[in-house]
Amino acid sequence: MSRLTSYAGKSALITGASSGIGRLLALRLSRAGARVALVARRESELRNVAREIESGGGEVLVLPCDVADRAEVFACAARAVARLGDVDILVNNAGYGHHRPFLDWELDDMERMLRVNFLGTLYWTKALLPQMVERGAGWLVFVASVAGKLAVPDESAYVASKFAMVGLAETLSIELEDHGVHVLTVCPGTVNTPFFDSEALERMPPVARRMMIDPDTVVTATLDALARGHHEITVPRMIGAGYVVRAVAPAFMRRRTKRTTIGAVAQRRTSS
């Protein structure tokens, strides 16, 4: 168990740092004393986050990057190491989602989602993990989703990308335990961020809207989990009960999922 209780003098690289969970995590880590590298496609948004960090006296590096482009990832990783030295903490947070039935989903977008959500995670981990193993210290944080543990209708490509992410993280957690590298998988439920556009909110089942949480809740839980040396957390914790139900009563879980997602959306459309 590797507890991360102090960020002073450490360097952290965060993908998807332009908004939401990534932005808040970057701000929190900087305030705690870490040097922070910000990764996302939107440079202007990264610059805004960088100014917030610099106004508090923090050291920050802006790295515009399409995480789905392997060459860009490895080039940016080299820049981060050249500027910050060895990266102590990698947070794989970049990702996006859409909400539509599989048959209506354009294949190009499904492929793009898998490249961003999963291959982007794979590329950054491959780029920065070797130097962690070499020095026998480091932390990998995979910001996945409850959708990486429980299937959700109308989110097939997103679910597939997050299941892959959770599987990669769990495997690495076991492989790297004896090499001094700690792996934490974070599975948030529905988080109130720009991730959910008007289309997503329209299709979102009522139960998901009722359980929507703030990104700061996820960030606080993540930092607490790192301090405690946990390997996986679900936020909010109560959703974790669904994992147990799925394991011991899969047929019941299947019916309930269908009723609270597809059935709820259909009923809302009929009533409107």
Q: How far apart are CA 70 and CA 155, in angstroms?
A: 25
- The rounded distance, in Å, linking the Cα atoms of 66 and 69 is 6
Gyration radius of the chain over CA positions: 19
Q: Of 140, 127, 128, 223, which is closest to residue 176 (Cα–Cα)?
A: 140
CA distances from 238 to 50, 155, 211 (A): 35, 22, 10
3-state secondary structure of 95: coil
Which CA distances in Å does 236 have to 94, 104, 146, 209? 20, 31, 10, 13
Asked whether 142 and 186 are in contact (CB, 8 A), the reply is: yes
Question: Is-contact 201 207, C-beta < 8 A?
Answer: no
Amino acid symbol at 143: V
- 158 assigned to active site: yes
Catalytic hit among 7, 96, 123, 158: 158
Q: What is the DSSP letter of 60?
A: E
* Residues facing residue 139 across a β-bridge: 89, 182
* Catalytic positions: 158
